[in-house]
Structure 1
Amino acid sequence: MQNHAQLTAIAYHLPQATLTNDALAQELGEWSAQKIFDKTGIAERHIAAADETASDLAFHAAEKLFSEHAIERDGIDFLILCTQAPDHFLPSSACVLQQRLRLPTSCGALDINLGCSGYVYALAMAKGLIEAGIRKQVLILTADTYSKFINPRDRSVRTLFGDAAAASLVSGGATQQGLGPFVLGTDGSGAKNLIVPAGAMRLPRSAATAVESEDASGNWRSQDDLFMDGAEIVQFTLGAVPRTMQELLDAAGKTLDDIDHVIFHQANKFMLDALRRKIRIPEAKFVIEIDTVGNTVSSTIPIAIARARQSGRIRPGDTALLLGFGVGYSWGGTLAHL
């Protein structure tokens, strides 16, 4: 009997420290706490400690998954870690986590370097591994610590991003209602619009890359810091997301009426509201779960699913359209029976 990949469990972990809008308003000036919330839909975001890495957050998310859902770690036979903040250039942080999580040595493990679309890409990889008969249970860990890339005086990104990790289990099952189809895409011409320019092989960090400058909007950053061209990102998103969603529905032979929930990458409330209006998605179907976590990059979709499940909004058997988009440019969408 063929195995069909199913998303069977999700857990997430947030670092202890929080950064509230009140604290940001005091630090940055000009923008009040209410103005920050009105622009972003975010009231607070969690921030990793100085000595806390993305793999630390991923470890705690995985341990929560195992304990909360009674999952045997010996049954995990592949680990995918999606992060843009690895512990080292090498080795792969997934390999380190295999040992730290006490997964069997027969478990494959790898990192993928993707941001806001990374969760959907990881689901696609897991589906391929399972339905090709290569593996039976895939653990997907998404974890990012963008706060470590952000200049404290850059309100254009500091108000948005929070640190977090999520753990998802994809397993083989008999039912054909699982994951898919998938629509994936890339446009590297937009790479420069969401980037940390310095720090790797193309432009190693140096005294020159650490020099800060002020942009026209009063934000400060250096080449060592995260840069986002907000206007270009909005333009890309408003074009790519509606097109990808329609391609996905067409590939599945469905319409929006057949979908219980639409869960986009939780970029910010302004972006999500603009997308919902443009695509004409009913508010009752549209999930926004960002107010106390912020934009957690690769973890926004699984965190939104988990929080909507906890509130009772998502019920067993519901169908969700998942769509991630952002850094790369990269985008991906799928349907998931939850």
Structure 2
Amino acid sequence: MYRRHCAAAAITLVCALAVLAAPVPALAAPAPPSPTAPPEPEPKKSLEEVRQEIDGLYRAAGAATDAYNLAEEKAKKQSSEIVKLAQAIVEGQARIAELKSRAGAQAREEYRNAGLPPGARLMLSGDPQLFLDGVSRARQGQQAAKGLLGELNRTQEDLETYTQDASTNWTKLEANRVKQAKAKKKINAQIAAAKKLESHLEKKEKARLLALEQEEAYKSQTAWLGSGALKEINREASPSGKKAVAFATAQIGKPYVWGAEGPKSYDCSGLTSQAWAAAGRPIPRTSQEQWRLLPHIAIQDMRPGDLIIYHSDATHVGMYIGDGAIVHAPRPGRNVTLAGAGSMEILGVVRPDK
């Protein structure tokens, strides 16, 4: 019995030692997280795509410039109206003060005469001739008093109208100032975005970009001339048209600055409006208003001095100078220069001196 007990104990001990001596399988360490794949780089834009994007930004800036210029013109007009109305109000107040003074003098005179005007006292006299004179004077006095009161009422009504008009113009003035501020913000943002795009280009790329612009303009001009849209390129300008062309071409080389009307810089419609003002024919300030308000003519009838309006939204304008060319202020970063009349999308032609 004792031996069986010892054998069992020995077997148990051997099994335990065998278990402890058995190799322990190693636990696998947690796998590190797989690294996030880097984002795919955006494909680099071609120089032509960059050119189109820059052109679009400057086009948007041109549209905002037109909105700014129109708001500025309206603000100037409203400011002028407010000044005129203020002068009319001052004059009206002075006139009312004068009329009230005259009415007060009449009232004091009647009071001194016991409430009877001189004509009435003569009417009460026993002299027939004096009585007749009194009747006439009384009528004159009544008419004068009636006229005085009528003028006083009319002047007061005018004064109220002037005040209401001044208030209305002030409201419009403030609204146009808000429009100016919004347009200015948009212009600066568009120009800054375009300049940023250009700033990332290498020197060689900038040169190539300019070449692409010129190539695109040349292709458009060639296609336009080849279409036969312009039947005669050397028509005679009118006397005022010659003056306008002379002024515009004399500005060649001066920089484009949005909102500028000279003499050191211009935007597109600032150049054309000042050229025609120099020719003695003032025209609207903006290209859109020039398109809307000036007489339209057919392209084939175009002559030097006429204005060519560009793009579907009428946001650019140049002056035709003959030989199929225009003088214009292109965009920020460029100077007043000559270009092909068909180098951009033509909306139509207007003639300031028709």
- TM-score scaled to structure 1, two decimals? 0.24
Q: Which has the higher strand share?
A: 1
Which is helix-richer, 1 or 2? 2
TM-score (norm 2): 0.24
Per chain length, whose mean CA-contact separation is higher, i.e. which structure has more relative contact order (CA < 8 Å, sep 6+)? Answer: 1
